[in-house]
Structure 1
Amino acid sequence: MATYKKRGYKPKTQVEKQQDIEDGSTTAEVFNTLDETASKTEDFVAKNQKYIFVIIGLVAAIVLGSLAYKEYIAKPKQEAAMNDMFQAQKYFDEAVTGTAKDSLYNLALNGGEGKFGMLDIIEEYSGTPSANLANYYAGTAYLRLKKYNEAIEYLSSFKSDDEILAPLAKGNIGDAYVQGNQPEDALNAYEQAAEMRDNEYTTPMYLFKAGAIALDLGKADKALAYFKRIKDDYANSTEAGKVDVFIGKAQVLANK
């Protein structure tokens, strides 16, 4: 093993001279190895520089292409989608709050006055946030129009991390299953909706719906657990005000 020697050190004994020779040899070997590695690297680069430049060029093209796509294609596409979606969203809002609901929901879906409907937005602007949101509106409109298979299809295509919209979409799927006489599927959807987010609005609402369906299916223990959770954890919710009656029903059935 090489040892550290002070500046100006000179070997005195034969052993020290031999050690000095070995240390110098080891150092030389290290530098020779480094030189050989560097030479091999240089040779590799020289022989393959064409391919290396191609790879670098491809990486740069991908990065720049991604940035350009976001700035010059995706961003303008989303802005156009938002503009074209305005009238369809207006029809939907009017259907929720006004009269002539069916005709307004149809206009929201298919468009009117030369403007796009939600179905047009989904097709024309696929991949944009607006098209994704249009799936929610379309699915909900179909639910209100009692077209339950279409409602499930479009609501299932909607993806969101939103605190309210995400569980509402799943809960609307549950409503569609209920109307389509598929209680087991409805229960599963309501359970998912209740667990997707924890808030005072959607969580107790879908716990209550899950409990009610569970009662109808003869799953009293499960229903009781959902109703008690509403009473214990969401005492200020609308559902908490009526849950005692359902707790009583579930307890009677669970004890049979």
Structure 2
Amino acid sequence: MATYKKRGYKPNTKEEEQNTVEDQSTTAEVFNTLDEGASKTEEWVARNQKYIFIIIGLAAAVILGYLAYEEFIQEPKEAEAANEMFQAQQYFDQALETQNDSLYNLALTGGQGKFGFEDIIENYGGTKAGNLAHYYAGMAYLNTNQYQKAIDNLDEFESDDEIIAPLAKGGIGDAFMQLDQPEDALGYYEEAANMRTNSFTTPKFLLKAAVVAIQLGDGDAAVEYLNRIKNEFPESAEANKVAVYLGQAKAMQ
């Protein structure tokens, strides 16, 4: 067991003297080992400093290149894409209000010298505007009965938004329903209902899922969806329709 020895301490016995010599020898060995390790490290660095500098230089170049790309290329491209898409969004909003197919087509293909959503997707892929253009294009195709194009575009759209993300999934479900593929539609309605919990999209797609489940003969699933609307969203517009469909679903159980 090691003991503390005061400064200037002198061993009184041969045994203590021997222990002191051994301690000093061990300490010297430790420092020699550390010195040897440090020397080997220094030698390794000296031998490989060329490669070390190359690696550091490459890492710095990558970081600086990324920052330069973001500032001088990506940010201006994002702003340009958003500016180009403004007119297409105006056409889309007008089309929603009037349900005018020609306005949906203008939103898709462009007008007044401005790009449509199709052009934004083609020319500004990788930007936020390019991603959002997939959503608008998908909904425009859905409203003009081009269902496979609607599915393709909405499937490309990525978002964490509370409202738009479920609407995109539900839009794919609507397209599959129009293509007479209710099994596929049900899966997307369920996904849309469960993606977020809010009083707008959740009861909306729970009701659609329940209606399709009834159509497919799955009364148990329909009852589950309808009860969720009744219990969790009693103030929603969909809650007013629950009683009718719940009777049908229970009759199938």
Same fold (TM over 0.5): yes
Check if 1:49 corresponds to 2:54: no
Structure-2 residue corresponding to 1:5 = 5
**Aligned Cα RMSD in Å?**
0.9
Structure-2 residue corresponding to 1:73 = 73
Structure-2 residue corresponding to 1:162 = 161
Structure-1 residue corresponding to 2:25 = 25
Check if 1:221 corresponds to 2:220: yes
Q: 1:64 to 1:3 in 2, by over 3 A?
A: farther
Aligned equivalents of 2:47 and 2:181: distance in 1? 68
Aligned equivalents of 2:74 and 2:5: distance in 1? 66
Aligned equivalents of 1:82 and 1:164: distance in 2? 20
In the TM superposition, residue 2 of structure 1 has moved relative to its aligned partner by 4.3
Is the partner of 2:158 in helix, strand or coil? coil
Q: 1:55 to 1:2 in 2, by over 3 A?
A: farther
Q: Is the 8 A contact 1:2 1:23 kept in 2?
A: no
Cα shift readout 1:105-151 (whole Å, capped 9, x = no counterpart): 11100101211010111111110110000000000000000000000
Structure-2 residue corresponding to 1:102 = 101
In the TM superposition, residue 241 of structure 1 has moved relative to its aligned partner by 1.2
Check if 1:173 corresponds to 2:172: yes
185-194 vs 4-13, which moves further:
4-13
Q: Is the 8 A contact 1:190 1:207 kept in 2?
A: yes
Check if 1:36 corresponds to 2:41: no
Q: Is the 8 A contact 1:170 1:192 kept in 2?
A: yes
Over 4 Å off, 4+ runs: none
Check if 1:88 corresponds to 2:97: no
Flag structure 1 segments of 5+ consecutive residues without an equivalent.
none
Aligned equivalents of 2:76 and 2:2: distance in 1? 66
Q: TM-score, normalised by structure 1?
A: 0.97
Give the residue type in structure 2 aligned to 1:8.
Answer: G
Q: 1:253 to 1:167 in 2, by over 3 A?
A: same
Aligned equivalents of 1:3 and 1:142: distance in 2? 85
Flag structure 2 segments of 5+ consecutive residues without an equivalent.
none
Structure-2 residue corresponding to 1:124 = 123
Give the residue type in structure 2 aligned to 1:229.
Answer: R
In the TM superposition, residue 63 of structure 1 has moved relative to its aligned partner by 1.3
Give the total of aligned pairs. Answer: 253
Is the partner of 1:108 in helix, strand or coil? helix
Aligned equivalents of 1:4 and 1:202: distance in 2? 74
Q: How does 1:124-143 map to 2 (within 5 A)?
A: 124-143=123-142
Aligned equivalents of 2:226 and 2:154: distance in 1? 27
Cα shift readout 1:214-239 (whole Å, capped 9, x = no counterpart): 00000011101110110011111110
Give the residue type in structure 2 aligned to 1:55.
Answer: I
Give the residue type in structure 1 aligned to 2:23.
Answer: D
58-67 vs 35-44, which moves further:
58-67
Is the partner of 1:242 in helix, strand or coil? helix
Q: TM-score, normalised by structure 2?
A: 0.98
Structure-1 residue corresponding to 2:192 = 193
Structure-2 residue corresponding to 1:111 = 110
Give the residue type in structure 2 aligned to 1:62.
Answer: V
